[in-house]
Amino acid sequence: MQEQIQDKAGEQLQRLNWERLKKKIHGLVNKVNASNLVGIVRELLQENSTRGKGLLTGSMIQAQVFSPQTFHPVFRESHDFVFQIKLGLELNLNST
């Protein structure tokens, strides 16, 4: 379908990309666990995290509401992991 769209900046293409991003984020959030956390975070960072940060937050909250015992410790670890990455990037940017 994406090949059929002529206008590369048009609304149809944007909607198609949004739906793809939404499905990708929901799928990654639903399959995360303590053993694959690092791989999932890497995959999430490869996605358009600026555009999808609201989707990611909503998916994490929804998953935690439906299964708190399963997802709470994993999301706490993922938050700590992402925070450490962000802190490291900020330190590298400030040192140059």
Angle between helix axes 68-95 and 37-46 (nearest 10 degrees) is: 60
Provide the number of structural domains found in the chain: 1
Residue 69 covered by a domain: yes
Residue 90 covered by a domain: yes
Task: Say whether pLDDT at 89 is over 80.
Answer: no
pTM of the prediction? 0.67
Look at residue 6 in the predicted model and tell me its pLDDT: 59
Task: Say whether pLDDT at 11 is over 60.
Answer: yes
Residue 34 covered by a domain: yes
pLDDT tens, residue by residue, 15-24: 999 999 999 9
As a whole number of angstroms, the distance between CA 44 and CA 75 comes to 13
- 4-13, 33-42, 72-81: which has the minimum mean pLDDT? 4-13
Backbone dihedral region of 7: left (phi > 0), alpha (psi from -120 to 50 degrees) or beta? beta
**Rounded mean pLDDT of 12-34?**
89
Residue 2 covered by a domain: no
Look at residue 96 in the predicted model and tell me its pLDDT: 57
Residue 30 covered by a domain: yes
Tell how far CA 17 is from the center of its chain.
14
pLDDT tens, residue by residue, 38-47: 888 888 878 8
Residue 1 covered by a domain: no
Range of the structural domain that residue 48 is part of: 10-95
Look at residue 83 in the predicted model and tell me its pLDDT: 72
SS3 per-residue string spanning 1-41 = CHHHCCCCCCHHHHHHHHHHHHHHHHHHHHHCCCCCHHHHH
As a whole number of angstroms, the distance between CA 25 and CA 47 comes to 8
pLDDT tens, residue by residue, 62-81: 888 888 777 777 777 777 77
Residue 66 covered by a domain: yes
Residue 5 covered by a domain: no
